[in-house]
Amino acid sequence: MEVSKARSAGAESSDLGIAESPADQETSTSSSSGPATLLARTLSPVQKLLFQLVESKLSRPITERRHKRICESFGGGAGGLGCELLKDLALTGFKYLDVIDMDRIEVTNLNRQFLFRLEDVGKPKAEVAAKRVMERVNGVNITPHFCRIEDKSLDFYSDFSIIVLGLDSVEARSYINAVACGFLEYDSEDNPREETVKPMVDGGTEGFKGHARIIVPGTTPCFECTIWLFPPQVKFPLCTLAETPRTAAHCIEYAHLIKWNEVHGSRSFDPDSPEDMQWVYSEAVKRAELFGIPGVTYSFTQGVVKNIIPAIASTNAIISAACALETLKIVSGCSKTLSNYLTYNGVEGLHTKVTEFVRDKDCLVCGPGVLIELEKSVTLKKVRLCFFLQLYSYNSYTFIAVILTVAGHLRFTYAVQQFIDLLEDHPRLLLTRVSVTHRGKNLYMQAPPVLEEMTRSNLDLPLFELMGGVAKDVIHVNGMAGKGDKKQSCLRKLRVVFRGVDVIADIDMAGGA
């Protein structure tokens, strides 16, 4: 879901539609004791960055701000948490919203996704959710997008000042995190450039548990910095599924992973197809009856196959409220923001806790990476040699003798530098056996042999050409780092800047993961 502007919260409001922050209010004097200064003095470094970001956004002319939007994106954007977020943000005063969701409404959604009705089953969630909220909240305008978040271009997301996530998968969060961090730029001292920071507010629920967090790329941990917070998905050994099933989940996965391929061959299973899901459910019931295992239901089959996490309406409401509040704080500067991860546990009683996680400075997504400045002529590996011989005779016999006897006249000139070999001597890298990728494309791979052969021809080409002729961009290199016997495999992020291609200001990109 994307949020762009907000409904007026007072008689004299900013164009964002919320009460203007102290930083946006004009005063008759520039005294250091003004309200904005007093508020700034109480903020942490992260909050000061957000305060300055909001101040710069709100200080723009109204005509310019009118075209800026605040983005809220969802993988399952109008699901349990998505419905709550859409409602909360509209009621908070955000006036222009976009909601993204690729799913259609199912009967099982109706117990907690309150924007939907029985007659809506089969319709796109985004379209119905947008319609319901606009019917209930005066003055709000919501644009639905019935598609995947990956279907939108980077230009679509670049318009927004803040991203609020109500996603239902690790993969979707990683994608949006990479998109937001891809807009981040650093100065020559590896400090994030304020105007390129795109804050995110992320929420998630699992049963009676949930979290809300803020992510300020380059300052607080991004999603990849704390990926370890998410437990690995449960996987079952195929031998257990095929021979000794013990649970209802084993029977369902047997029908899904083994029986489906035996019957349907190359046709892929579609988890969003009611017919395919019904077939898996029927086969799972037969398997469960054969081994005397109870508990196979249609809804449980959906949960296992689609990895659906049980959702509780009250948990969604609590986490949504926290996310909406943090969004309001960021865009208005009305109060301190969360620092930086809130957890909620309602399993036994009620427990909330705020933890301040630390950013990984070497993060391949939000970190600055290692700055490498190169000439346009630099190739990946091989060096073209220009050699000049001073000859005393044109006779072939004499020519050979000259080479052997007048080595002092033999001069070699390196016409092109080597990029991969350069990484071996770089004090912050010390990489050997390097493979190079750029925006998902393999420029050169050391292994396996088939990929090495396919990419070998790139070794003679200038890196500038292989990267599409851009003045600067991010590449990733994989290799062995360290010295002597202490080498280990590692992945490194490099900011490559080509000299003389463009007027390079004091900035360098960090994103593009």
Hey, where are the domains in the chain?
A: 2-60, 68-231+311-355, 238-305, 370-512
| Structural tokens at position 237 | 């050994």
In 3-state terms, what secondary structure has residue 124? strand
Which of these is catalytic: 147, 225, 239, 490? 239
Q: Residue 303, Cβ neighbours under 10 Å: how many?
A: 16
Predicted pLDDT of residue 318: 94
Predicted pLDDT of residue 26: 40
Question: Which residue in 430, 429, 460 sits closest to 443, CA to CA?
Answer: 460
* Interior/surface letters 188-225, b for 16+ CB within 10 angstroms, e for the rest: eebebbeebbbbbbbbbbeebbbbbbbbbbbbbbbbbb
Taking a C-beta distance cutoff of 8 angstroms, is the pair 427, 481 a contact? no
Question: Which residue in 259, 231, 194 sits closest to 49, CA to CA?
Answer: 194
pLDDT, one tens digit for every residue, the chain (513 residues): 444 433 333 333 333 444 333 334 443 333 344 444 444 455 566 556 655 555 554 444 333 333 344 444 444 477 888 899 999 988 988 888 888 888 888 887 888 888 999 999 989 999 999 999 999 998 888 888 898 888 887 778 887 888 888 887 788 888 888 888 878 888 777 788 888 888 999 998 888 999 999 999 988 999 988 888 887 766 677 777 888 888 999 999 999 988 998 898 888 888 878 899 999 999 999 999 999 999 999 988 988 887 776 778 899 999 999 999 999 898 888 888 888 899 999 988 889 999 999 998 878 788 887 888 888 888 887 544 434 444 444 443 433 333 333 333 333 333 344 788 788 778 777 788 888 888 778 888 887 888 888 888 888 888 888 888 888 888 888 788 766 666 667 777 888 888 887 644 433 444 444
Q: 509 has which bridge partners?
A: 185
pTM for this prediction: 0.62
| Structural tokens at position 329 | 């704080």
Sort strands 370-374 and 385-388 into parallel, antiparallel or unpaired. Answer: unpaired
Taking a C-beta distance cutoff of 8 angstroms, is the pair 215, 200 a contact? yes
Rounded CA-CA distance 339/322 in Å is: 13
CATH topology of domain 68-231+311-355: Rossmann fold (3.40.50)
Determine the angle formed by the axes of helices 313-332 and 45-58, rounding to 10 degrees. 70
CATH for 238-305, among 1.10.10.520, 3.40.718.10, 3.40.50.410, 3.40.50.150?
1.10.10.520
Catalytic site includes residue 363: no
Q: Which long-range contacts (CB under 8 A, 24 or more apart) does 129-132 make?
A: 129/78, 129/82, 129/83, 129/86, 129/99, 129/101, 130/86, 130/97, 130/99
